Amino acid sequence: MAFQQTCGLPVCKATICFLLTLFVLGEGHFKGCRKFTGVQDTRHEDVFKEQWFTQKLDHFDGADSRVWKQRYFVNDAFYKPGGPVFLMIGGEGPANPAWMESGTWLTYAEKLGALCLMLEHRFYGNSHPTVDLSTDSLRFLSSRQALADLAHFRTEIGEAKGLSNRKWVAFGGSYPGSLAAWFRLKYPHLVHASVATSAPVHATVNFPEYLEVVWRSLASENAECPLLVKKASDTLVERLKDPKTYDNITKDFQLCSKLQIQTEMDSAYFLETLAGNFMDVVQYNEDNRGFEGLMGTNITIQVLCGVMADTSFGDPYARYAAVTRLMMETFSINCLDASFSSNLKAMTNTSWDGPAASGGRQWVYQTCTEFGFYQSTDSPNQPFAGFPLPYHVKQCMDYFNVSAEQLAEAIVQTNEYYGGYDIRSSRIVFPNGSIDPWHALGITQDITAYLPAVFIKGTAHCANMYPARPQDLPQLTLARDHVFLLLQQWLKQ
């Protein structure tokens, strides 16, 4: 495992999705999302010891004096007296100390003499503000509380280490990218500049554009690829209407137990699980996370479209099943648990030892109370079928007793608070990749000269954050260089 959390909105909630995202920045993305894993990379913790900061439980209630311990990491190898402070913002999964050893931000730090800090997001990883993950406890999980955590951390660490007058730069990818932008927006006196990579700054209940980008990304490899995926998905939807096909479907997709479709939630969850293979690979296509498959074969859009075009597997439906088996074999999964009832049991477990406690339950809570981001099949311009918006919205009620009306109002409030696409600030750069479906909710054109976008053709989610490598596209290399030049200029201001 190379990287985890700090960049990577969740895409699905299925077992394969979890395994795929073992290689993501720890940025676990789940429902209406994509990302997450309960596994933590500990190989770098001997070099970069975890440290702890006393944080307030509720920053917005002066009468509440409760505190908790928040985890953070430090790399001072490049720091030169008077240099800036770089703050990597953690997101919806464990903060991965691998980021203290590798990544583009460290290349910038070495050139600029920066001190590097990484703060884990409340309620993720080992940063546990409450005794459990009950809905009552999760009241204290929000982007606003997380930003206040960042502000308090910056203030206290600044004073304790004599860094108050240094110029602080926030970094983040995906949801943490949004936090990086919002940190500069809401606390401009504390953060001098921000690099907001692959940041979905616009909240929305329904996000069918995600799968529209998946269609276009598949088509960029082979125009027939998304058509074959659609044909396979439509065939599967038809077969799910006949219980006599369930034994064969169970065998075809190597399910852990015989397929049972008793409600629309059952079929939607199963169909979303299988679509997740394509969604994950598109989102992280050809990045540098160590996403290696069988015999060193990189699991990319090209690989999946190659399977979908291979007639030796049979018709498109059979090729679709072959993709699932390939992903399972690649990640040593013996069988696929695509049962919504199993998922419901896991997601409603409120213990810190529960199966979804490393990010799944928490992130879905945030989607239900702040962001939405539900990747529905409600658009005709995408290749999948069977998991429409009501399926996603109902989970908010099932997991947290959040109604559709409450969800809709929460999204309105989020955009009112942060401004959505209409950000009014300065010294924030927004890198995005054209292959990444999340760019549809991000800033892809300059807002002003001091709010520039860096739109990188042919790259996926958070690509500019990962370490450079010889096979990087020229435009990716140029994008990294452009961000560095902006930082140079802004740190002189």
**Residue 328 phi/psi, 5° resolution?**
-65, -45
Residues in Cβ contact with 273 at an 8 Å cutoff, skipping those fewer than 6 apart: 12, 13, 14, 15, 16, 17, 336, 338
Provide the CB-side half-sphere exposure for 64 (13 A, CA). 11
**Residue corresponding to tokens 């902006």:** 486
Told to judge if 234 belongs to the known catalytic residues of this protein, a careful annotator would answer no
Told to judge if 436 belongs to the known catalytic residues of this protein, a careful annotator would answer yes
Active-site hit among 142, 339, 461, 472: 461
Q: Is 189 exposed, middle or buried (0-12, 13-18, 19+ CB in 10 A)?
A: exposed
Q: What does the radius of gyration of the chain's CA atoms come to, in whole angstroms?
A: 22
Is the Cα torsion angle 223, 227, 230, 236 positive or negative in sign?
Answer: negative
Neighbours of 381 (CB within 10 A): 12
| Helix (H) / strand (E) containing 490 | helix 474-491
What is the four-CA torsion angle of 159, 160, 162, 163, rounded to 10 degrees? Answer: -60
Q: Is 380 exposed, middle or buried (0-12, 13-18, 19+ CB in 10 A)?
A: exposed
Active-site hit among 142, 174, 198, 426: 174
**Residue 135 phi/psi, 5° resolution?**
-60, -35
Neighbours of 314 (CB within 10 A): 12
> Using an 8 Å Cβ cutoff, are 158 and 84 in contact?
no
Is the Cα torsion angle 240, 244, 249, 252 positive or negative in sign?
Answer: negative
Active-site hit among 149, 436, 439, 472: 436
> Using an 8 Å Cβ cutoff, are 40 and 125 in contact?
yes
Cross-strand bridge partners of residue 428: 194
Supply angle C-alpha 73, 75, 78, rounded to 5.
160
Told to judge if 174 belongs to the known catalytic residues of this protein, a careful annotator would answer yes
Q: Is 70 helix (H, G, I), strand (E, B) or coil?
A: strand
**Residues with catalytic function:** 174, 436, 461
